[in-house]
Structures are given as C-alpha cells and as structure tokens.
Amino acid sequence: MRGLGGIGGFFAHSESFPTAAPSEKTLAAAASKPKDRHHMPVYAFADRTRIIRTTAYTDSESDHLIYGNSNATGTPLRYTNRVRSAAADWSFYPVGTVFRISGLPYLYVVDDYGSALAGNATVDIYEPTKDLMNVWGSRQVEMTVVQWGSFNRSAEILSRRTSYGHCRQMLSNIIRQKPDAGRVAKL
C-alpha cells in the first residue's frame, strides 16, 4: 500500500484490483470537507467525484447466506466484466446509483445494502468469493457518480422492511432529505 497525504488514509493497490490514486484536484477538494466517523470527507450530492471508504462483501458470508445470490432489490448480484453490484446506505447512495472507481474498468450499481453501512458513506463492493473479498479488504478510492439512483424507489423498498432497524434508519434519512419520497413509501 502507498500512503497519500491530505485525508489521513491509504490507497490500496493490488494486481487483482489496481485502483488509481486520487487526482490532486480531488484530494484538494476533500481536504476542505468536514469529516465523518471514518475520517472521510462528507460531500454534497452535487459533488460527483469524491474520495470514499470501500469494503468488500460476498454472498458466502454467514450473514448473507439466507439471501443467496440475491441483492436487496430481489435480483441476482452482478459480477461481470462490465457491471458489478455494490451495497450502500441508500440515504447516501440511493438504489440504482451508478459509479466508477478510478483505475477500474467496471461500472458499479448500488443494488444492495447492509446493516453495517447504515449511517455512513462507506460503499461495500460485491466480490464472488471470500478470497477476492479479502484481497479488496478496506480501501479508500476515488469514485465518480455516473448517475444518481432513485430516492423514491429506495423509500418504496425500505418501507416494506421497517421491522429492521437499519432499514428504518435509511428510510427516515431519505424522508428527512427528500420529503416527497415519504409519499411513495408504504408506511
């Protein structure tokens, strides 16, 4: 790993996932942002290029076994040469958000969430095996949002799952930010 100044973290490089170091412009913009609990910059939705904390998950982890190879939208998790699944707090990155990670050729689509992601801007990258999950580990990357997802669709899906605390938290945060999303939620 190679450390870069400005936000107090490391940017990982590996033969399996050769992520690029953030641009000087992105680092400079990040330095002036307030920080979250992971010491990562907090961005406005207008900021499409950002430095984020990422982790990785797989469907063979014990807490994902009951869902099999399905994501939170009920479709199969994606891992192709073009498009891959990602999980996030849908009040930060609503379902359907499409993004790129600097240095990688894939598009990532937020189609999943996880209880550990609620309340923070960390993005969990889907990997099909535990070995690949471990290779990814936790790293800070430069991400560019290609297209924002739908808060309304996020609210609609989450409103059917309010028996789970993390779903209630994400739904509440969405409605606080986008009051109109409360109209489509099945409350």
Q: Tell whether 159 is covered by a domain.
A: no
pTM across the whole model: 0.86
Q: Tell whether 79 is covered by a domain.
A: yes
Q: Tell whether 122 is covered by a domain.
A: yes
Rounded CA-CA distance 95/112 in Å is 7
Q: Tell whether 187 is covered by a domain.
A: no
Give residue-wise pLDDT tens across range 23-33: 999 999 999 99
Domain count, the chain: 1
Q: Tell whether 34 is covered by a domain.
A: yes
Give residue-wise pLDDT tens across range 24-67: 999 999 999 999 888 899 999 999 999 999 999 998 766 655 66
Q: Determine the pLDDT at residue 97.
A: 98
Q: Determine the pLDDT at residue 187.
A: 54
> Domain range spanning residue 137?
2-149
CATH of the domain at 34: 2.40.40.10
The answer to whether residue 10 scores a pLDDT higher than 60 is: no
Cα distances (Å, whole numbers) of residue 1 to 24, 40, 123: 18, 18, 20
Q: Tell whether 38 is covered by a domain.
A: yes
